[in-house]
Chains A and B, each alone.
Chain A
Amino acid sequence: MGFIAEGFQQALHLIFSGNAEIFAIARLSLAVSVLATAAAVLTGVPLGSWIAVKKFPLKKFLIALVNTGMGLPPVVAGLVVMLFLARSGPLGFLNWLYAPAGMILVQFIIALPIITALSVSAMQSVDPKFYQQVLTLGASDWQAIRVCLKEIRLTVLAAVIAGFGRLVAEVGAVMIVGGNIRHQTRMLTTATVMETNMGNFDIAIALGLILLTLSFAVNLTLTLIQQKKAGPL
């Protein structure tokens, strides 16, 4: 038990002494996951809404495909993205492998199906009559979708929270695509793995605490926005 308490003590010391390297790692983690979530929201919400309101062949098949994507193992996404971004791969000219841009890309791919799938089901919860009514008032498809999104913004925010939660805690994909390079692509999760492997449990606990705190802060912000909009029932 002793070393666990000691670990926490050391962890708190590391956090409050303002260790520059640990803060740089935290900044990168936050930046990558927030940007990837934002990109996935900007693509996934319109895409999911469109799938929900449109009638087209194989629609159910497509929805099943997107739902499957929610369970996409991050390491598989990481492996595929690495092969594409490798110098010898088709996207090698981008020079995104072992760089933050590549890490954002792979996290975007992981978050997209989650946010798309949750948007589909959120949009399908809207009364079809309401959607038709907006259309008969002369709105275009996208205008009608925007009106509906306003109605279901709470559920959409829940999708954002789910997506961000998945990304900020993700380790396998960013390890493969980022390479855990010090001062460049080391994130809170990959650094935690490395320090745990090396037996530096105090630093590992400190990194874990920072990760939890960051995740809590972001979720608190999102929840406050959500609940403010919710109002009392």
Chain B
Amino acid sequence: MKHLKMVVPAALAALLVFGCQNKPATQSLVRLATTTSVQDTGLLDVLTDAFQKDGKYKLQAIAVGSGQALQLGRTGEADILFVHSPEDEAQFVAEGFGTDRTTFMHNDFVILGPAADPAKVKGEKKAADAFKRIAAAKAVFVSRADQSGTNKKELKLWDEAKVKPAKDKYIEAGQGMAATLTMADEKKAYVLADRATYLSMRKTLGLVIVCEGGENLINRYSLILANPAKFPKVNAAGAQAFFDYVLSVPAKEMIEKFGLEKYGQQLFFYDYAVK
């Protein structure tokens, strides 16, 4: 049992180190609930690094679907939210969970499908009509099915199309955007994706864009501060600092430049008029 005796102090020491790492930093830890599309494109890493540069704050970014991100906001787990699900956001603020909702950037959704395009969607201008064709052709469709902003948008488009895909042709992935795209690619299925994630994964996908443009494919991102009156434990100052950083000139420039080098085109379009 000799080696066990050596493990004891080592374990205790390491536990102390880990414990202490968290303790004094409590005030400066900012917990951001955001969406997988922001993480999977790499924008989150760039924003995090720039925001942490002055050493005042440490960002804990949890990348989940917008639905779960809003849920983290509802229980006071997150200090600030960076999401894209406009109707849920409005409700979230109306219910008093968040304040200062600011829509500041957008990208757009695209409908992707196999290059052979069995449902003949190509050339269709309106997203809802594209969905109609997919359902009519009984083509396979992969849904995020995770209550994310993209999933909400997809459900809304099915509503607008006034059709429902056949059950056995409608695959509910329950995963993030990137995982869902990989699945759709393997199954040669149609899928709704945000353009940024699609571009960041284009090299590994055989899927092509079959429908794009159009007002109802626009994907708007917002920041929402957790309501400190409702959740006294939130780091309001830190959340405000991230909020102010994202709505600043350096962040605007960074977001507008993001993707140019790696993907050859701008991924996110900044809409907020920085003062």
Contact of B1 among A86, A146, A179 (CB under 8 A): A146
The segment from B90-98, B145-153, B199-207, B216-224 that touches chain A is B199-207
Q: Are B201 and A199 in contact (CB under 8 A)?
A: yes
Complex CA gap A114/B208 in Å reads: 49
* Residue-wise interface mask of A (61-77) relative to B, using a CB-CB cutoff of 8 A (1 in contact, 0 not): 00000000000000000
Distance between B178 CB and nearest chain A CB, rounded to angstroms: 4
Q: Are A198 and B200 in contact (CB under 8 A)?
A: yes
Minimum CB distance partner of A193 in chain B? B179
Complex CA gap A150/B4 in Å reads: 12
Q: Are A181 and B11 in contact (CB under 8 A)?
A: no
Minimum CB distance partner of A180 in chain B? B63
A213: B residues at CB distance < 8 A: none
Q: State whether the Cβ of A100 lies closer than 8 Å to any Cβ in chain B.
A: yes
Q: State whether the Cβ of A149 lies closer than 8 Å to any Cβ in chain B.
A: yes
Considering only residues 1-44 of chain B, those with a C-beta below 8 Å from chain A are 1, 3-4, 7-8, 10-11, 14-15, 18-19, 21-23, 26, 29, 31, 40, 44
**A88-B77, A95-B23 given as contacts; is B60 within 8 A of A42 (CB)?**
no
Count class of interface residues, chain B: 35 or more
Considering only residues 213-272 of chain B, those with a C-beta below 8 Å from chain A are 231, 233
Complex CA gap A100/B21 in Å reads: 9
A100: B residues at CB distance < 8 A: 18, 21
Complex CA gap A180/B61 in Å reads: 9
**A95-B22, A99-B22, A104-B15 given as contacts; is B48 within 8 A of A182 (CB)?**
yes
B14: A residues at CB distance < 8 A: 31, 35
Q: Are B22 and A101 in contact (CB under 8 A)?
A: yes
**A38-B11, A92-B233 given as contacts; is B19 within 8 A of A101 (CB)?**
yes
**A35-B11, A101-B18 given as contacts; is B201 within 8 A of A198 (CB)?**
yes
Q: Are B60 and A179 in contact (CB under 8 A)?
A: yes
Q: State whether the Cβ of A133 lies closer than 8 Å to any Cβ in chain B.
A: no
**A42-B11, A104-B18, A198-B201 given as contacts; is B3 within 8 A of A225 (CB)?**
yes
Distance between B15 CB and nearest chain A CB, rounded to angstroms: 6
Minimum CB distance partner of A97 in chain B? B77
B8: A residues at CB distance < 8 A: 38, 42
Q: Are A101 and B205 in contact (CB under 8 A)?
A: no
A35: B residues at CB distance < 8 A: 11, 14-15, 18
Identify whether the interface residues of A are mostly helix, strand, loop, or mixed.
Answer: helix
Complex CA gap A196/B205 in Å reads: 13
Distance between A213 CB and nearest chain B CB, rounded to angstroms: 21
Distance between B187 CB and nearest chain A CB, rounded to angstroms: 15
Minimum CB distance partner of B201 in chain A? A199
Contact of A198 among B1, B3, B40, B44 (CB under 8 A): B40
Distance between A48 CB and nearest chain B CB, rounded to angstroms: 14
B23: A residues at CB distance < 8 A: 95
Distance between B53 CB and nearest chain A CB, rounded to angstroms: 13
Q: State whether the Cβ of B175 lies closer than 8 Å to any Cβ in chain A.
A: yes
Distance between B26 CB and nearest chain A CB, rounded to angstroms: 5
* Residue-wise interface mask of A (89-128) relative to B, using a CB-CB cutoff of 8 A (1 in contact, 0 not): 0001001111111001000000000000000000000000
Q: State whether the Cβ of A197 lies closer than 8 Å to any Cβ in chain B.
A: yes
Complex CA gap A149/B181 in Å reads: 53
* Residue-wise interface mask of A (135-169) relative to B, using a CB-CB cutoff of 8 A (1 in contact, 0 not): 00000000000100110010000000000000000
- Chain A residues engaging chain B, CB cutoff 8 angstroms: 31, 35, 38-39, 41-42, 45, 86-88, 92, 95-101, 104, 146, 149-150, 153, 179-182, 184, 196-201, 225
- What 6 A-B pairs have minimum CB-CB distances, sorted nearest first? A199-B204, A197-B179, A38-B11, A198-B178, A197-B178, A179-B62
Provide a sorted-by-A list of 27 A–B residue pairs whose CB atoms are within 8 angstroms: A35-B11, A35-B14, A35-B18, A38-B8, A39-B15, A41-B4, A42-B7, A87-B76, A88-B75, A88-B77, A95-B22, A95-B29, A97-B77, A98-B31, A98-B60, A101-B22, A179-B62, A180-B63, A181-B61, A184-B58, A184-B60, A196-B182, A197-B178, A199-B181, A200-B204, A201-B204, A225-B3
Known contacts A38-B7, A38-B11, A199-B182, then 5 further A-B pairs from the complex at CB < 8 Å, ordered by chain A residue: A98-B62, A101-B19, A198-B178, A199-B204, A199-B205
